[in-house]
Amino acid sequence: MFILKPHSGVPIYRQLSEQIRRMAASGQLPPGTELPSIRALALEHAINPMTVSKVYSLLETEGVLERHRGMPMTVAKPARTQSPPAKRVAHLEPQIEQLVLAARQLELGEDEVVEALRNAWEVKDERPVHRRTRAR
């Protein structure tokens, strides 16, 4: 279900919580989906059960997950008001940082990167892209 890399610089709890948040926000984990038990998830990835417990508790307070007594944790229904785009964009920060870093190393300019981004977006997306005219 999740991809965890224990040897990256990012702590495991953060990787896991980020993934769950993202998957919940994007609908990959629809509301009501049962999450594996702490023990099962810890065993599967050979990680500390306390880490999993920490993540589950954290996400519960954030409202992403719901706890039911005696039953597995489930994904909560999304809040009435969806979080503002700025907040959701914050989830993308790690990837954006990586992209910028790589681009800089390749000595690419901002424009080339944006172009590439746009192309990738078109391919991924089924809906037509709202083109923004931009002064060059």
List residues near other proteins by CB under 8 A: 6-14, 38-39, 42-43, 45-51, 53, 101
**Whole-number minimum distance, CB 54 to other proteins, in Å?**
8
**Whole-number minimum distance, CB 104 to other proteins, in Å?**
8
Give, in degrees to the nearest 5, the angle at Cα 27 between 4 and 45. 20
The region that residue 63 occupies, defined by phi over 0 for left and psi between -120 and 50 for alpha, beta otherwise, is: left
Residue 93 or 115 with smaller CB distance to other proteins? 93
Residue 110 or 125 with smaller CB distance to other proteins? 110
Residue 25 or 58 with smaller CB distance to other proteins? 58
Residue 32 or 94 with smaller CB distance to other proteins? 94
Name the DSSP letter for residue 76.
Answer: P
Query: H or E segment at 68?
Result: strand 65-68
Token pair recorded at residue 22: 């993202």
**Whole-number minimum distance, CB 94 to other proteins, in Å?**
10
C-alpha–C-alpha distance, residues 34 and 108, integer Å: 44
